[in-house]
């Protein structure tokens, strides 16, 4: 009987962890200062420097960061928060945490980011904030969105969870003054295990963030005195240590991801699919995932399943948030609310992608995808 040969698995993503990361984490473990020690602030300083922003507050996740931004914006019951349907659920959930209603404005079919005209059309007298997402690390239309937010007196929050290192109009995402949130789950460019950060140009917002993430303690209060309702959204020092190691090699991580993306662009040439939108003078992507868009009528889920059977992990990135079951049940959202997002959601899929993905693996992904689509 022929022995079945095990096919090597190609995962969807992989963090880049090296000896330096291990040493930094061990140092903290050995120090005994596992939380509220000196490593958290070191990580924050390095991140602030990387993003070129005066203030940076590390938090326990990107979701926590977005939630705190709702508090910064004063979002509360009865308010509406406009966001993108083509994102991870946290971009919308943060509004619900504060009793507000998420309102979905449709996306642009090319960038997959919020269409500013759709945002303006969705504004009502209840709108309090806009959560703009840099999806797949491609910067959103910050200038147009800022003009709209200023015109209507709305807070602009940037969900830059997928976009560390991206640039909009030549300046790093996160350094444009308004609060921006980063996330460090292991599929991100930089990981701390779980973790996130909020950057802002405002010292006042920074002080509030630091208090809110630390159970509402005030700068002047002792450990058991709390000046406001807060949360435990602190990032521990072990995670921060890993973050330092990651930021130290950020340039290598980002250029590795750029190279892998460029290789896919070559390998996938001629296939009946759209590869990710190229950069232009205003938008410089930080590569997060590699998402291709299949033609209408192709059984995308069947393609994903088939690749999975060949040991290649792919995922239907991203479902439209308003069509998630809890959103339909809670708000009565249905098909047709955001047609562009729904169309894109039905046709896009993420293929294996990380900074150190081997050329042979990429060739196997491309060949298998070619035969799936043939």
Ligand X SMILES: Cc1ncc(COP(=O)(O)O)c(C=O)c1O
Q: Point out which residues bind ligand X (CB under 6 A).
A: 61-63, 87-88, 90-91, 133, 159, 161-162, 183, 185, 196
Q: In whole angstroms, give the CA distance from residue 333 to residue 138.
A: 27
Q: How far is the CB of 20 from ligand X (least distance, A)?
A: 23
Nearer to ligand X among residue 142 and residue 267 (C-beta): 142
Please state the closest distance from residue 30 (CB atom) to ligand X, in A.
27
Residue with tokens 């868009």: 293
Considering the complex, state which of residue 174 and residue 268 has its C-beta at the smaller distance from ligand X: 174
Q: CA angle at residue 104 from 103 to 110, to 5 degrees?
A: 160
Minimal distance in Å, beta carbon 271 to ligand X?
Answer: 26
**184 or 206, CB closer to ligand X?**
184
Q: How many angstroms separate the CA atoms of 56 and 174, rounded?
A: 10
**CB–CB of 238/21 below 8 Å?**
no
Beta-sheet pairing, 348-351 with 196-200: unpaired
CB of residue 293 to ligand X, shortest distance in Å: 18
Cβ-based nearer residue to ligand X, 84 or 211 = 84
Q: At what angle do helices 62-72 and 90-97 cross, to 10 degrees?
A: 50
The DSSP output letter for 323 is G
Least Cβ distance, residue 163 to ligand X (angstroms)? 8
Of 367, 325, 308, 373, which is closest to residue 7 (Cα–Cα)?
A: 308
Minimum separation from the CB atom of position 64 to ligand X (A): 7
* 101-104 β-sheet, strand order: 55-59, 196-200, 180-183, 155-159, 127-133, 80-83, 101-104
By C-beta, is 91 or 127 nearer to ligand X?
A: 91
CB-closest chain residue to ligand X = 62
Which CB, 68 or 103, lies closer to ligand X? 68
**Token digits for 50?**
């990387």
């Amino acid at each position: 009987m022929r022995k079945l040969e095990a096919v090597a698995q190609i995962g969807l993503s992989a963090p880049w962890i090296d000896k330096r990361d291990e040493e930094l984490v061990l140092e903290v473990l050995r120090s005994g200062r596992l939380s509220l020690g000196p490593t958290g602030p070191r990580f924050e300083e390095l991140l602030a420097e990387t993003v070129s922003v005066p203030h940076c507050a590390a938090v326990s996740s990107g979701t926590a960061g977005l939630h705190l931004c709702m508090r910064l914006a004063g979002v509360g019951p009865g308010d509406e928060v406009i966001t993108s349907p083509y994102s991870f659920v946290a971009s919308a959930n943060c509004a619900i945490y504060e009793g507000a209603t998420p309102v979905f404005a449709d996306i642009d079919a090319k960038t997959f980011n919020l269409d500013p005209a759709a945002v303006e059309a969705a504004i009502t007298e209840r709108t309090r904030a806009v959560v703009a997402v840099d999806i797949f690390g491609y910067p959103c239309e910050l200038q147009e969105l800022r003009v709209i937010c200023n015109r209507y007196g709305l807070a602009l929050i940037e969900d830059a969870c997928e976009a560390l290192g991206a640039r909009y109009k030549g300046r790093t995402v996160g350094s444009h003054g308004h609060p921006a949130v980063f996330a460090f789950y292991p599929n991100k460019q930089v990981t701390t295990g779980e973790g996130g950060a909020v950057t802002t140009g405002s010292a006042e917002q920074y002080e509030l963030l630091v208090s809110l993430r630390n159970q509402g303690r005030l700068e002047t209060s002792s450990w058991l005195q709390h000046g406001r309702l807060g949360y435990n959204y602190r990032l521990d020092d072990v995670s921060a240590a890993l973050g330092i190691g990651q930021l130290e090699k950020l340039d290598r991580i980002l250029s590795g991801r750029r190279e892998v993306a460029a290789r896919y662009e070559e390998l996938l040439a001629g296939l009946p699919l759209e590869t990710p939108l190229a950069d232009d003078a205003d938008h410089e992507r930080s590569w997060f995932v590699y998402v291709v868009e299949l033609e209408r009528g192709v059984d995308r889920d069947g393609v994903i399943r088939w690749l999975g059977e060949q040991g290649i992990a792919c995922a239907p990135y991203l479902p439209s948030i308003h069509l998630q079951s809890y959103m339909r049940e809670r708000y009565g959202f249905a098909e047709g609310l955001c047609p562009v997002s729904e169309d894109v959601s039905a046709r896009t899929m993420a293929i294996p992608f990380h900074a150190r993905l081997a050329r042979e693996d990429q060739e196997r992904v491309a060949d298998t995808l070619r035969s799936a689509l043939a």
